[in-house]
C-alpha cells in the first residue's frame, strides 16, 4: 500500500526522482510513474517493443527523441502514419517548422500559405520542396525494382538520408522496421500516385507489409506496446500482438477519453477484452499530452535502465 506524499523540490533532482515523487501525489501522476515502470519491465524481460505514434508527434520536437530511442535499441518495431514520415524527410533535408499560437487567425494563415498543426506552423513551400526531393527518390526506387512492400521502401529511403535525428535514417541504420499501413494518407501518397501514373508497373504493396509485421514477432516472444495517441498506427501494432497471443506489457499515452469509443481513447484494460493485451499483463494508460508525458516517462525509464546497466550504448 502506498500513501499520498507531499511533493517537494530538492536541489539537483533528476527526472527519475521527479517522476517517482510525482507517483506519490495521486491522480495521473501515479499513472505516469507506473508507465515508466512498465517500460523498464519490457526491457528487463527482453520483450519485443512496438513503438507507435501519430504524425503530429513528428511535427513536434519529439522526432529527434524517437530517433534517439531507436539508436538506443529501445524500440524494435515502429508503426506510424505517413505525415510523420514526410515531415521526417522534410526536417532531414533542412526544413524548419515554426512555433506559433493555437489562437492564430487561420484564414490569414491560409492566405499566407501557412498550415497550422496545433501551435506549430508549416509553410506550403516546405511541401513544394518535399515534392522536389521525393521524386528523385522514387526514381531511384523504381530503377532498383518495381514492387516494394511499404516497410522495405521506407528502409531504402532511410538509407538515403544522412541525418542522425531522422527516424527513417536511424531505423534503417539499426535494422528497425517502420510500418505505415496508410501510406497514401498524405503528400507522399499523392506523389506515389502521380509517379505510378507514369510508371504503371510501380507497385507499393500494403498487404504484403501486413505479413511482414506479423513475422516481426511470434507466440513465444514477449511483446510490449508503447502507443502515443491512437489511430491506425496504434491499432496496427496491437492487432499484430492479438494474432500472436496478446502483449505482456502495454503503455498508452493519449488525450482522448475512453467514453468516445475510439481507438485513441481505448484503454489498456479495454484491449484485454479483445485479447490484444493479456489478462495478467502489466499495463498503464496515461491521460495527457504526449509531448509532456512521454519525455518524463521515457527519460525516467532510461535513467533507471542506465543505473542497472541495461541500456545499450
**Does residue 175 carry a catalytic annotation?**
no
CA distance 282 to 241: 15
Report the candidate in 225, 211, 209, 169 with the shortest Cα–Cα distance to residue 53.
225
Ramachandran region, residue 254 (left: φ > 0; alpha: ψ -120 to 50; beta: rest): beta
The catalytic residue among 16, 272, 276, 300 is: 276
Q: DSSP states of the chain as a string?
A: ----------TT--HHHHHHHHTTT-THHHHHHHHHHHHHHHHHTTPEEEEEE-THHHHTTHHHHHHHHHHTT--SEEEE-HHHHHHHHHHHTT---EE--TT--HHHHHHTTEEEETTEEEEHHHHHHHHHHHHHHHHHHHHH-SEEEHHHHHHHHHHH---TT-HHHHHHHTT--EE-TTTTSSHHHHHHHHHHHH-TT-EEEHHHHHHHHHTT--SSS-EEEEEES-HHHHHHHHHHHHTTT-EEEEEEEESS-GGG-STTT--HHHHHHHTSEEEEEEEEEEES-HHHHHHHHHHHHHHHHHHTT-S--
Closest to 229 (Cα-Cα) out of 306, 312, 289, 162: 289
| 246 and 275 Cβ atoms separated by less than 8 Å | yes
* 67 grid coordinates: 530517433
- Which residue matches cell numbers 514520415? 85
For the annotated catalytic residues, the residue numbers are: 276
Amino acid at each position: 500500500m502506498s500513501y499520498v506524499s507531499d511533493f517537494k523540490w530538492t536541489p539537483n533532482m533528476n527526472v527519475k526522482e521527479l517522476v517517482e515523487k510525482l507517483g506519490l501525489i495521486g491522480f495521473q501522476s501515479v499513472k505516469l510513474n507506473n508507465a515508466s515502470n512498465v517500460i523498464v519491465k519490457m526491457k528487463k524481460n527482453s520483450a519485443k517493443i512496438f513503438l507507435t505514434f501519430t504524425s503530429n508527434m513528428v511535427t513536434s520536437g519529439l522526432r529527434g527523441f524517437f530517433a534517439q530511442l531507436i539508436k538506443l535499441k529501445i524500440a524494435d518495431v515502429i508503426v506510424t502514419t505517413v505525415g510523420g514520415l514526410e515531415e521526417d524527410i522534410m526536417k532531414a533535408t533542412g526544413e524548419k517548422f515554426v512555433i506559433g499560437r493555437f489562437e492564430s487567425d487561420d484564414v490569414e494563415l491560409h492566405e499566407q500559405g501557412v498550415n497550422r498543426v496545433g501551435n506549430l506552423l508549416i509553410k506550403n513551400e516546405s511541401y513544394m520542396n518535399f515534392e522536389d526531393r521525393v521524386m528523385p527518390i522514387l526514381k531511384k526506387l523504381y530503377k532498383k525494382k518495381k514492387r516494394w512492400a511499404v516497410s522495405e521502401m521506407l528502409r531504402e529511403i532511410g538509407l538515403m538520408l544522412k541525418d542522425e535525428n531522422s527516424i527513417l535514417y536511424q531505423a534503417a541504420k539499426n535494422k528497425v522496421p517502420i510500418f505505415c499501413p496508410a501510406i497514401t494518407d498524405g503528400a507522399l501518397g499523392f506523389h506515389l500516385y502521380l509517379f505510378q501514373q507514369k510508371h504503371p508497373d510501380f507497385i507499393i504493396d500494403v498487404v504484403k507489409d501486413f505479413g511482414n509485421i506479423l513475422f516481426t514477432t511470434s507466440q513465444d516472444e514477449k511483446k510490449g506496446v508503447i502507443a502515443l495517441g491512437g489511430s491506425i498506427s496504434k491499432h496496427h501494432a496491437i492487432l499484430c500482438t492479438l494474432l500472436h497471443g496478446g502483449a505482456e506489457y502495454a503503455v498508452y499515452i493519449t488525450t482522448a477519453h475512453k467514453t468516445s469509443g475510439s481507438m485513441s481513447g481505448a484503454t489498456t484494460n479495454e484491449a484485454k477484452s479483445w485479447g490484444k493485451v493479456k489478462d495478467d499483463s502489466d499495463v498503464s494508460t496515461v491521460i495527457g499530452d504526449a509531448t509532456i508525458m512521454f519525455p518524463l516517462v521515457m527519460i525516467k525509464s532510461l535513467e533507471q535502465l542506465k543505473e542497472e546497466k541495461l541500456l545499450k550504448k
